[in-house]
Amino acid sequence: MSKERIKISEDLYDIMPSDYQDLVKSATYGKEDRGWKDIGNSKELIEQHSLCAGCPESMAFRYILASLPNPEDTVMVGSTGCTSLVFPMVAVHNIHSLFGNQNAIASGLKRALSVRFPGRTKDVVVLAGDGATVDIGLDMTLQAWFRQEKFTTICFDNELYANTGGQESGLMQKGFVAKMAPVGKLFDKVRLPEIARESGCHYVVQCTVSKPSLIEKVIKNAVMIAREIGPTYLQLYTPCILEIGKNSMEGLQEMRDSEKPTERFAYKEYISEPAKQLLAEMAAKDKEKKAAAKQLAAQGA
């Protein structure tokens, strides 16, 4: 786990565009305590992207990429939608899957990686929109959970099909009228977090991406639990400001308004017993490490 495998050939270093040089010089591959606080101090694993200005999906991407515990040995699986505009700019291995197939692709990939690299930890993280996760890909999403596939599924929930102009999605709120769904949604928002829990996910969180520290925590938990125990699911509200008629600067407020305790994106979390145990062990180890470091610092002083 380090930059050992991410080196530019010395004799061609000078002709490499600066974004690659920066990745090698100051990205946080291999940094044990990497997290959202590295944003601004180090090269992020995302370049320019072509999302709409102010789209909360871009914030979500930045926080997630800063928080993955093992980016150099992680493969992300994407699907068609606004998220797929970002993946070409991401410095983590990623695969674009046919719309809806992402959890099937990730299942095969995770198994293949463990055969191909038996001694190395390889994380697989699916990141797809609500249309891909809950509508067209629901079969693949659920089957992967039933089978206890060991990877994380992240859904960017913007409550509609944004990339194709605003069609109704299963995660859309009841009564919502979108540009290409003029009748208004006739049934309730699908309760995927509850379905995830019942389908065998060991860690399920629903939240917005308004707080980077929270995203760091849930990403780390989700990836570690998926690595050791079984499937995990994160449903992140990333409002499509374009479709709900907000300006570029209003995405953050929209998320803050929607995460109030009585609102539909109030923080929701489910952790299975084995996952709780793992998190407790991780916390204990972390505490020990910090205590040891403190002691070392005190001795040095």
Ligand X SMILES: Cc1ncc(C[n+]2csc(CCOP(=O)(O)OP(=O)(O)O)c2C)c(N)n1
Binding site for ligand SF4 (CB under 6 A): 51-52, 55, 57, 82, 158, 162-163, 240-243
Contact 218, 201 (CB under 8 A): no
Residue (100 or 129) nearer to Mg ion, CB: 129
Helix (H) or strand (E) holding 76: strand 74-78
User: Phi and psi dihedrals of 11, rounded to 5?
Assistant: -75, -10
**Which amino acid is located at 96 in the chain?**
H
Which contacts (CB < 8 Å, 24+ apart) does range 250-253 have? 250/54, 251/54, 251/55, 251/56, 251/59, 252/56, 252/59, 252/210
**Secondary structure E strands in 104-217:** 123-129, 152-157, 203-208
SS3 254: helix
Select the residue interacting with another protein from 1, 20, 143, 147 (CB under 8 A).
Answer: 20
Structure tokens at 245: 């008629």
Select the residue interacting with ligand X from 164, 173, 248, 253 (CB under 6 A).
Answer: 164
Rule CB under 6 A: is residue 173 a binding residue for ligand X?
Answer: no
The partner residues of 161 in beta bridges, in order of sequence, read: 167
Contacts to another protein from residues 65-124, by CB under 8 A: 85, 88-89
Select the residue interacting with ligand X from 69, 81, 170, 230 (CB under 6 A).
Answer: 81
Chain centre distance of CA 241:
20
Residue (10 or 32) nearer to another protein, CB: 10
The partner residues of 76 in beta bridges, in order of sequence, read: 94, 125
Per-residue contact track with ligand X, 139 to 158, x per CB under 6 A? -----------------x-x
Select the residue interacting with Mg ion from 44, 73, 130, 259 (CB under 5 A).
Answer: 130
Smallest gap from Cβ 161 to ligand SF4, in A, equals: 10
Rule CB under 8 A: is residue 2 a binding residue for another protein?
Answer: no
Residue (29 or 61) nearer to ligand X, CB: 61
Among Mg ion, ligand SF4, another protein, none, what does residue 129 contact (CB within 5–8 Å per kind)?
Answer: Mg ion
| Candidates 26-34, 130-138, 279-287, 293-301; binding stretch for ligand X (CB under 6 A) | 130-138
Contact 138, 120 (CB under 8 A): no
Smallest gap from Cβ 17 to another protein, in A, equals: 5
Among another protein, ligand X, ligand SF4, none, what does residue 51 contact (CB within 5–8 Å per kind)?
Answer: ligand SF4
Residue (75 or 204) nearer to another protein, CB: 75
Residue 261 to residue 259: CA distance in whole angstroms: 6
Rule CB under 5 A: is residue 158 a binding residue for Mg ion?
Answer: yes
Residue 193 to residue 179: CA distance in whole angstroms: 27
Beta strands 123-129 and 152-157, pairing class? parallel
Structure tokens at 68: 């993955």
Smallest gap from Cβ 3 to Mg ion, in A, equals: 35
Rule CB under 5 A: is residue 129 a binding residue for Mg ion?
Answer: yes
Among ligand X, Mg ion, ligand SF4, none, what does residue 241 contact (CB within 5–8 Å per kind)?
Answer: ligand SF4
Radius of gyration of the chain (CA): 20
Among Mg ion, ligand X, ligand SF4, none, what does residue 83 contact (CB within 5–8 Å per kind)?
Answer: ligand X
